[in-house]
Amino acid sequence: MAEPHFQREIDRSHMMVSDEVAIQISQMNKWYGTFHVLREIDLTVNRGERIVIAGPSGSGKSTLIRCINRLEEHQSGQIIVDGTELTSDLKNIDKVRSEVGMVFQHFNLFPHLTILENLTLAPIWVRKTPKKEADETAMYFLEKVKIPEQAQKYPGQLSGGQQQRVAIARSLCMKPRIMLFDEPTSALDPEMIKEVLDTMIELAEEGMTMLCVTHEMGFAQAVANRVIFMDQGQIVEQNNPHDFFNNPQSDRTKMFLSQILGH
Amino acid sequence: MSPTQSDSIAFVRSEMLPQKPAPVSEAGAIRWLRENLFSSPLNTLLTLIGAYVVYWLVTHSLPWLSHSVWTAGSVSECRQIITDTWGADATGACWAVIRERWSQFIFGFYPWQMVWRPVLAFVLLLVAIAPVLFSALPRKMLTFSLIYPLLAIWLLWGGSAWTELVVLAGFVLGWATYVALSKGSTLIAVIAAVLVPILWWKFAAAPTTEVLQNVISLSIPKVSSSDFGGFLLAVTLGVGGIVMSLPLGIVLALGRQSDMFLVKSLSVGFIEFIRGVPLITLLFVASLLLNYFLPPGTNFDIILRVMILVTLFAAAYIAEVIRGGLAALPRGQYEAADALGLDYWKAQRLIILPQALKISIPGIVSTFIGMFKDTTLVVFVGLFDPLKGVPDFVRADFNWKGIYWEPFIFTGAIFFIFNFSMSRYSMYLERKLQRDHH
């Protein structure tokens, strides 16, 4: 069992799971062509939950969180985010997307814009925030992710870890109520993984509702209140991190954990 | 490494090495020559062949160029002067033809006393495109760039300025309609903003122009399209084509990428049809066939017709160039824009197109350069282009019969200046937009 490598004490005072439902997924199915990629997904996420989704590649975990902000379309079942059901209605989709922040494996910063412009673009054009106010918010979040001095640079001039922190700040500038992380550290050099995880931990400490697809089991143990294990498009097992890691029930989970932690 | 260290594999560096200057042999002219011209037997051979070709070209063209005659009344007079000055076997360039006829190469048959109008239009063109080309200039100058097309049309063709002002009023009306209605449904606002100006132009424009013209006459003498020629014609068609084909090309490229079946098939059909047909065919359509399809009595200006077809032609190519740029963008850019809640048009305008167009700059400028040179094909529909139309006319004069090289070189040189400027500008733009350096 690998020990989580976070030195500092995690402040759990604001990590509270409320009774309010943030995301409600029921009987959801998705196909890529004829391939049944997500099968009968039922998942309820309460506000304040920090969920880590793990599983082998191709298990559908990225597709699942990409369905939550409609980057992928589901074909049957229901997804309700913050009381808005995702249908083909564009208004609902835009509403959900402005409430849900997303961080990608490859950062997906806009390379032709400065860091500051990356952060203020959506607030100005989607939220109609005045530029001055958007700039102030952007600088606030850049300071939070500890790179305010990079504001005038372009993404190509930053390291991978810095870029991912900018990407997190970019999502936060839209003041989302839910954050989705799609393998945020998988494209990073080992030295830079920690700085990104630290940022994510701070976010969790503030009570953000988070869904993270990640292989960082240390992060799962330290921060998550629930770990979901997926395989072949299905939720195979979910539990609190302590029981999930120390007492996995299904054979598939046991095998996965032994492969990912057993060296 | 010290002997004590060598018997064990353990090693600890006690101090980090500082940077040292590169060896002197990394620079110098001789090194450059050796590396670039004489690095191998094959390279040496190629260098020698190249040097011989340059020698041959210079020795064959230099005497001809150095024996230039600038003042003469005819080709035979030129030859006489060359023979008298440099001997019976000497050949020489007879630039006298350019000296005498340069105005026709530049302006065609534009009435000479009104030539200030195209000159002014050209100077204002430079003012109008400056803020478009150089972002350091004040953005307010773009207002003039927007008005410029109508101003240029008035200056070049003349007539009542009210015509252009009433057309401009149509655009203002459309904009005002959009602003007034945009509080409600965007779709209705857009449709109204398109319909109102069209109705204005169709029904109200002509009477309004007449009334205004009777109140205050803002007329300058009219010039017919058939008087246009030379570079005036080429630049008019080229600039008009460039200005209109870029937006149309962008729309077609986006249409081809669209999820909507009808939009996509129409775009693909248009692009493939236009690319599949030679430009000359389209020009013949412009000059001959288009009149059959239009209501009788419509007098649709020949330059306008040609400009429209040249635009469509260039737009099809530009659409494909831009499609390449769009395809080169990683999917993540679209996803990030979606995830932030940007709608399709905002995502295209703010995220996708700025990057796709940047990638497409070399291809777009190549298309522009090709189109500008292709404007000389209008000779086939009876217009006087600067490459064949005007020189043929000049040679029809008995004095200048049989003079070929000088007009070609003159016209070629002017085309080169225009096209080389475009090419340089595109390289400047690429450098300026480069974002991945440290």
* Residue B198 within a domain: yes
B351 at A interface, C-beta within 8 A: yes
C-alpha distances in Å from residue A51, one per residue of A6, A202, B300: 18, 15, 68
Q: Which of B168, B190, B220 is the last residue of a domain?
A: B220
> Pick from A38, A57, A52, A3: which is nearest to A244 by CA?
A52
* pLDDT for residue B1: 47
The nearest CA of chain B is from the CA of A156 a distance in Å of 5
Query: How far does B194 lie from chain A, in Å, by closest CA?
Result: 24
Whether residue B339 and residue A101 make contact (CB cut-off 8 A), yes or no, is yes
Same domain, B82 and B172: no
CB contact under 8 A, B435 and A156: yes
> Is B335 in Cβ contact with A154 (below 8 Å)?
no
Please tell me whether residues B292 and B411 are part of one structural domain: yes
Residue burial A215-248, b: 16+ Cβ < 10 Å; e: rest = ebbbbbbbbbbbbbbbbebbbbbebebeebbeeb
Statement to judge: residues B236 and B366 lie in one domain: yes
Distance from CA of B330 to the nearest CA of A (A): 9
Residues of A in contact with B333 (CB under 8 A): 108, 110
Same domain, B420 and B362: yes
Is the minimum CB–CB distance between B301 and chain A shorter than 8 Å?
Answer: no
Q: Measured between CB atoms, does A157 come within 8 Å of chain B?
A: yes
Which pLDDT tens digit goes with each residue over B311-320? 999 999 999 9
**pLDDT at B95 exceeding the cut of 50:** yes
Choice between A67 and B2, residue whose per-residue pLDDT is larger: A67
Question: Looking at the structure, do residues B48 and B85 belong to the same domain, yes or no?
Answer: yes
A69 Cα to chain B: minimum distance (Å): 7
Number of domains in chain B: 3
- For residue B264, being part of any structural domain is answered with yes
Residue B18 domain-assigned (yes or no): no
Output the pLDDT for position B438.
47
Q: Which whole number is the average pLDDT over B280-305?
A: 80
Please, which residues 168-227 of chain A have a Cβ atom closer than 8 Å to chain B? 170-171, 174
Given an 8 Å threshold on Cβ–Cβ distance, is B333 in contact with A108? Answer: yes
pLDDT tens, B140-156? 989 999 999 999 999 99
Q: Does A84 touch chain B if contact means CB atoms closer than 8 Å?
A: no
Is B2's pLDDT higher than 60? no
For the ranges A233-247, B5-19, B281-295, the one whose mean pLDDT is highest: A233-247
pLDDT at A261 over 90: no
**Residue B272 is encoded by which pair of tokens?**
């493939």
* Residues B206 and B239 occupy one common structural domain: no
Closest partner CB to A71 (pick from B338, B343, B435): B338
Q: Do B435 and A110 touch (CB under 8 A)?
A: no
Question: A241 falls in which pLDDT band (50, 70, 90)?
Answer: very high
Q: Supply the angle between the helices B353-374 and B405-433 in degrees, to the nearest 10.
A: 180
- B354 CB neighbours in chain A (<8 A) are 112
Asked which of B175, B198, B220 is the last residue of a domain, the reply is: B220
Q: Using the predicted structure, report yes or no on whether residue A232 has a pLDDT greater than 80.
A: yes
Neighbours of B386 (CB within 10 A): 27
Question: Residue B306 maps to which CATH number?
Answer: 1.10.3720.10
B contacts of A121 (beta carbons < 8 Å): 340, 342, 350-351
| Closest Cβ–Cβ partner in A125, A156, A157 for B346 | A125
| β-pair type (A234-239, A226-231) | antiparallel
Q: In what order do the strands lie in the sheet with A35-46?
A: A35-46, A21-32, A76-81, A84-85
pTM: 0.86
Contact present, A49 and A228 (Cβ < 8 Å): no
Task: Give per-residue pLDDT as tens, B57-87.
Answer: 999 889 888 888 888 888 899 989 999 988 8
In a domain, B133, yes or no: no
The answer to whether A223 touches A201, Cβ cutoff 8 Å, is yes
Residues of A in contact with B343 (CB under 8 A): 90, 94
**Residue B228 sits in the same domain as residue B342:** yes
- B311 and B171 housed in the same domain: no
Q: What is the band of B427 on the pLDDT scale with cuts at 50, 70, 90?
A: very high
B423 domain-assigned: yes
Interface contact A1, partner B, CB < 8 A:
no
Contact A156 B332 (CB under 8 A): no
d(CA A110, nearest CA chain B) in Å: 7
**ipTM rounded to 2 decimals:** 0.91
Q: Do the domain assignments include residue B129?
A: no
Q: What is the pLDDT confidence band of residue B290, given thresholds at 50, 70 and 90?
A: confident
Residue B171 distance to chain A (closest CA, Å): 25
Last-in-domain residue among B44, B74, B96: B96
B283 plus B211 within the same structural domain = no
B333 in contact with chain A, both atoms CB, cutoff 8 A: yes
Q: How far apart are CA B338 and CA B347, in angstroms?
A: 7
Q: Which chain B positions have a beta carbon within 8 Å of A71's beta carbon?
A: 335, 338-339
Q: What is the pLDDT of residues B239-267, one digit of tens each?
A: 999 999 999 999 999 999 998 999 999 99
- On whether any CB of chain A is under 8 Å from the CB of B432, the answer is no
Residue A206 phi/psi, 5-degree rounding, is: -85, 0
The range of the structural domain enclosing residue B42 comes to 29-96
> What pLDDT is recorded for position A168?
95
B397 and B299 part of one domain: yes
Mutate to test the interface with A, among B183, B259, B331, B340 (most CBs of A within 10 A): B340
Residue of A92, A125, A171 to mutate when probing chain B, most B C-beta within 10 A: A125
A110 → closest Cβ in B333, B338, B433: B333
Question: Do B436 and A97 make contact, defined as CB atoms within 8 angstroms?
Answer: no
Helices (H) and strands (E) in chain B, counts: 20, 2
Residues B288 and B206 in one domain: no
> In this structure, are B191 and B271 located in the same domain?
no
Query: How many angstroms separate the CA atoms of B349 and B347, rounded?
Result: 6
Q: What does the alpha-carbon distance between residue A166 and residue A148 come to, in Å, rounded to a whole number?
A: 10
Q: Given a cut of 90, is residue B205 above it in pLDDT? A: no
Query: Please, what sign has the CA dihedral across residues A149, A151, A157, A161?
Result: positive
> And the tokens for A192?
């830079």
Chain A residues in contact with B346 by the CB 8 A cut-off are 125-126
Q: What is the 3-state secondary structure (H, E, C) of B369-408?
A: HHHHHHHHHHHHHCCECCCCHHHHHHHHCHHHCCCCHHHH
B23 in a structural domain = no
Binary contact (B340, A122; C-beta < 8 A): yes
